Structure 1
Amino acid sequence: MENNQAKKYKLIKKQLDKVEKKENKVLSKKEIKFIKNKVSPIQEKIESKIPAKLQQTLEKAFETGFKVVFEKGVGLIEKTYKKESKLQDFDVKHYMIMNQMNHKNINELDKGAAKTVRGNQFISTVEGSLLGALGIGIPDIPILIGMILKSIYEISLSYGFDYTTDREKLYILYMICAGVTKEDVQEDYNRKLERIAVGNRMADTLPYSIDNAIKETSTRLAEAMLIAKFIQGIPIVGVVGGVSNFNIIKDITKMARIKYKKRYLEGLLHEK
């Protein structure tokens, strides 16, 4: 029996090592030298021509959007996928893992998350391009927030996590921040995520304010999309909005898949 438990522990640790390597790769990613030397100066030049109030407008739009979605929109988002089916799918896969723990069964969890990511990236790209081509930059923000949260919700279900608790809302907000930032700032958000995740197992009080987290997330998204939304407000040129939405969803969902799988595996370790 002890030998069997030791094998399971070793297998889970091997899976965790693999996930943590992916996590470290994302967290250690530096800004590409060409972008830093050539693109950043151009970006700064464009930013200098953007109306000063645009970032404030973006931040407020994102902040309002998150509050509305958290208070009233979760049910609407859930209508876009079969929640019960996803929960049942996780239960079956988790049962298989607990009864026959091997790499193949654990990796089965990734398939649902991968399918979710592909579908939502495509939708966000089409939506951003169409609205951008019509010269609509700001009004699509509630749609983008919905797509971001839909993607995260579906990924969380793939690994057996309930996204409706206050702690998980806090976790999701800071995961978005980590997904759209780089280097030291990203590392800071990663530390916050680790603290929230550990607290979830220990059932302590929330370490951070959800209202403050909404404001921070709104600021980070506004910073990440400032130029794209400015251009997206210009007809025809605005098709860049689709690319911008795709990249935002891609970066956030990459972070979400890593974080949720890591938490699932850590949960398995604590069950041993």
Structure 2
Amino acid sequence: MTPYEEMAYLELLTWQFKMQKKPSLTNRLAKGIQNRINNVIPEKVHHVLTVTIEKMVKAVLFGAKYTTSTKLAEDASFLLRESYIKQQITFYQKTASVEGAITGAGGILLGFAEFPVLIGIKMKLLFNIASLYGYNVKDYRERLFILYIFQLAYSSQQRRNEIFNVLQHWDRYMANLPVQADEFDWRTFQQEYRDYIDLAKLAQLIPLIGAAVGAIANYHLLAQLGETAINCYRMRILSKPLLSTQF
């Protein structure tokens, strides 16, 4: 490994340790409260949310406009790839921050309208990251990998442990992936995502402070997604010999 790859590998080990932590007492209490709230919400509401998010994410995952031309030469170094990726993360953080400030200033209606827009920004970033690492985002399996990254970034610690195990052994799990997108567990996906961002985003709907909260929340949500994506791809790449033919 080059010095940069060694540094990246050490960062990966630290991140892996964090991902595999057992849920803390605070995590368990927060998740318990959220579960009680979810149990009170009518099933029809859950169904509407599930279908809405399912359609939004499917549009992103399988829509032609989310293929990307962001590529590097096959022999590009790992350092160069990650330099471009970090630039992309910064760009999308700023984009999401501006978008959050605008919708936060617009009140409740614009606040609710922002959710599909924000998901689109996050997915576009993930597609660009995958492509810059050299993976073919037109491949259905790579798009599902992107979806698992998204879940890992925005799930409770308990669910995070389960998803991390899938991503850590991706080659093994790839053989058992759903053949059709309809077989994916959309209910768990939307519920974990919604529960995770509730606290960060609800304050965005409050008049006067909504713009500031929206900008800060979106900036940090994109930073977290970027860090998760980088380490997920490092886990695939740095656990194998770094051969240019692999990319």
In the superposition, the TM-score normalised over structure 1's length comes to: 0.70
> Which runs of structure 2 are paired with 1:201-216 in the superposition (5 Å)?
204=175, 206=177, 210-211=181-182, 212-216=184-188
Q: CA deviation at 1:29?
A: 6.0
Match status 1:235 vs 2:203: no
Return 5+ residue gaps in structure 2 as ranges.
none
Q: State which of 139, 145, 153 in structure 2 corresponds to 1:171.
A: 145
> Which runs of structure 2 are paired with 1:19-58 in the superposition (5 Å)?
19-28=11-20, 36=26, 52=41, 56=46, 58=49
Q: Can you list the C-alpha shifts for 1:82-125, whole angstroms capped at 9, x where unaligned? A: x44x32x24241xxxxxxxxxxx432221011001101011111
Q: State which of 56, 59, 62 in structure 2 corresponds to 1:65.
A: 56
1:91 aligned partner, one-letter code: E
1:156 aligned partner, one-letter code: A
Flag the 1:55–1:12 CA change in 2: closer, same or farther, 3 A: farther
Residue 128 (structure 1) aligns with: 100
Q: CA deviation at 1:14?
A: 4.5
Residue 10 (structure 2) aligns with: 18
1:176 aligned partner, one-letter code: F
Q: State which of 117, 123, 135 in structure 2 corresponds to 1:149.
A: 123
Q: CA deviation at 1:151?
A: 1.0
Residue 84 (structure 2) aligns with: 112
Alignment coverage as a number of residue pairs: 234
1:193 aligned partner, one-letter code: L
Q: CA deviation at 1:226?
A: 2.2
Give identity over the alignment, percent.
20
Is contact 1:196-1:206 (8 Å) kept?
no
Match status 1:248 vs 2:221: yes
1:158 aligned partner, one-letter code: L
Q: Can you list the C-alpha shifts for 1:43-64, whole angstroms capped at 9, x where unaligned? A: x69x97xx94697365443222
Match status 1:190 vs 2:182: no
Local SS of the residue matching 1:140:
helix
1: CA distance between counterparts of 2:231 and 2:83?
A: 13
Flag the 1:60–1:118 CA change in 2: closer, same or farther, 3 A: same
> Which runs of structure 2 are paired with 1:55-94 in the superposition (5 Å)?
56=46, 58-72=49-63, 74-75=64-65, 77=66, 83-84=68-69, 86-87=70-71, 89-93=72-76
**Superposition RMSD in Å:** 3.7
1: CA distance between counterparts of 2:100 and 2:23?
A: 25
Return 5+ residue gaps in structure 1 as ranges.
1-7, 94-104
In the superposition, the TM-score normalised over structure 2's length comes to: 0.76
